[in-house]
Amino acid sequence: MGMGAVGLIAAWAPLVAACSSAGTAAFVLGEDGVRVRPDRPRRWVEADFAGITCAFAWDEHGDLRVRAQGRFTLELDERGRPRARPRKSLSSGDMRLGVLPQLDRRPLRGVGRFLPELPQMYDSLRLALPPPLRKPADAVMGLLFPDRAGADELRVDAGVAPHPNLLWSLRPGTVREVALLAALVPWAAIDEVASGRAGSEQYTTMLAQQLDWIEEASARGRGALVWLTV
């Protein structure tokens, strides 16, 4: 089985809190949604979730539990905001969430084995780009792959170790910045330069899908990350 990937578009606060509580940014992609595979169960982490202060932890079965302060459920509308009136109180003080809340998957089309090589593939392509194309493309790649390694803002914010399957992860603010910079890049002209160059067409195809995910995440005010699968 070859390497693949999925784009994950996520509400950032609950994602960071879940990874911090679990002690890892290791994800399990199930049919019913995305879970974090915990390393440190039963450590409560407080975070602001859609305006409500909550505590996240994992139980002994590896299921995420969330506990809201007071006696209210986290009742959210379609934009991820708390509803005006929580509908019911909690008798036990917490509720089980089997999958991460407010996180959507986007499948990768094409061959995923090229993804870890994107910085090197761009290095080869950029030598053929004239300055008017190279400079704006450099700005985008510099945010996605600073120092030729994938940006990992989830690791920084959650305080966990880097994971080899996480290609890159961006906070909502960085997502917006990348989306704005990407809109200034003449991608059609870069595609023309890449046409016929070994590896370059795969680069532009893989990058275009990731920029689509980033554009969607930016429009929704969410973070984004790419998880490699094998």
Q: Kindly tell me if the per-residue pLDDT of 71 is higher than 50.
A: no
Torsion of Cα atoms, 28 then 34 then 39 then 43, to 10°: -170
Q: Kindly tell me if the per-residue pLDDT of 46 is higher than 80.
A: no
Cα(8)–Cα(16) distance, integer angstroms: 13
Query: What pLDDT, in 10s, does the model give residues 88-105?
Result: 333 333 333 446 778 899
Can you tell me the mean pLDDT for 159-172? 92
Higher-confidence residue: 153 or 101? 153
pTM of the prediction? Answer: 0.73
Query: What pLDDT, in 10s, does the model give residues 125-135?
Result: 889 999 999 99
> What is the SS3 assignment for 102?
coil
Using CB atoms within 10 Å of the CB of residue 72, give its burial: 0 to 12 exposed, 13 to 18 middle, 19+ buried. Answer: middle
Cα(57)–Cα(179) distance, integer angstroms: 33
